[in-house]
Amino acid sequence: MDIQPFEVHIPQATLDDLRERLARTRWPDTIPGSGWEYGSDLAYMQELTAYWREQFDWRAQERAINQFRHFRAVVDGLGIHFIHARGAGPNPLPLIITHGWPGSFVEMLKILPMLADPAAHGGDPADAFDVVVPSLPGYGFSDRPSQPAMHTFRIAELWVQLMRGLGYERFGAQGGDWGASVTTVLGLAHPDELLGIHLNYIPGSFRPHLPPGTPLSADEQAFLEDRERWSQDEGGYGHIQATRPQTLAYGLNDSPAGMAAWIVEKFRTWSDCDGQVERRFTKDELLTNVTIYWATETIHSSARLYYETRRRPLQLGPGERVTAPCGVAHFPYEIPAPPREWVERGYDIRRWTTMPRGGHFAAMEEPELLAEDIRAFFRPLRPGD
């Protein structure tokens, strides 16, 4: 496998063009006093984009990002960007962490040092990991797929090849959002190579096999009803990305303000922020993620993952189970999450932690809580223990 060092760098011409486009934004009107009721709040988006144009320092964020060791590998013909942080401990456990949408690898920048060097963050060096954080195909600095069928099952195969190319024959995996789907598929399709999987989200397309007449608990029935309500109230983005991503692409790929509104609304709605997005994420954090999407022109290719995975959902057949040991960290402000009994129909649950706070973007919102749960889950699964 061809692996080369990589440095994150956005050309100045791209940044200049971004500022010019932001200055020419044609703003829509809104219902006075409606706030976020109809979608992204006009006043907040004008404030955020003014900051983006006039004060946001991408070069400072770039320097911080490049403090980590970045690489690009050609995996089965596709260029994959990733961070590789060697663990500071006696026997680091290899761990691949996968992000989701509308996030990116920058979601993991807080938690990565806590896992690679736990002693420097109040932990035990025996819990160290060799951490690999890739960018999903079609996201950030990974290549945009030029062929169909780049779904989570395909991505899981790429991750196995990537880890083998790095010299890891057995490893752990962790993820939320799409990362939880990829991680689940790793545990389903490669149980002999996976020491364990840790999830902070149960994939939305996950369905255990339920023979006709299978009784459901009251909690399971309530979850299915809650999920349907959520899909009606909040799921419009997913439906269009799963059915007509190309039509959406023309607007989002051309308007940075439009793309920012599409992404930031999710950070507000899905996080434990009580409706105030900057209680959880600074403008710099939000805009670093958004700028990566803009500069790499990957908002459309990232959305295609919904289209591809709709055609290859994570639905278990008769006798199928995810047999790799599984840990789940449930954050209370997560997108509707199933009860444990639903998850246990398809996963080998070894640890289930109900967190006191936090939402969908757990690695950014509550990195300490998530890092400690990952350490605790993998502790008894480490080779030699």
Please choose, from the candidates 331, 264, 291, the residue with its C-alpha nearest in 3D space to the C-alpha of residue 102: 264
Is 44 a known active-site residue? no
Catalytic site residue 177? yes
Spatial CA neighbour of 299 closest among 241, 347, 345: 241
Upper half-sphere CA count for residue 240 (Cβ side, 13 Å)? 10
Of these residues, 306, 307, 333, 347, which one is catalytic?
306
Instruction: Tell me phi and psi for residue 350, to 5 degrees.
Output: -105, -25
Distance CA 176, CA 201 (A): 5
> How far is Cα 276 from Cα 288, in angstroms, rounded to an integer?
19
Question: Which residue of the set 70, 84, 300, 360 is catalytic?
Answer: 360
Of 177, 201, 272, 293, the active-site residue reads: 177
Burial (CB count within 10 angstroms: exposed 0-12, middle 13-18, buried 19+), residue 327:
buried
The reply to whether 70 belongs to the active site is: no
Q: Is 215 exposed, middle or buried (0-12, 13-18, 19+ CB in 10 A)?
A: exposed
Coil, helix or strand for 381? helix
DSSP 78-91: EEEEEEEE---SSS
CA distance 52 to 259: 13
CA–CA gap between residue 210 and residue 316 (Å, rounded) = 9
Report the distance separating Cα 306 and Cα 243, nearest Å. Answer: 8
| Percent of the chain as helix, strand, coil, to the nearest 5 | 45, 15, 40
C-alpha 9/C-alpha 12 separation (Å) is 9
List, by residue number, the catalytic residues.
177, 306, 360
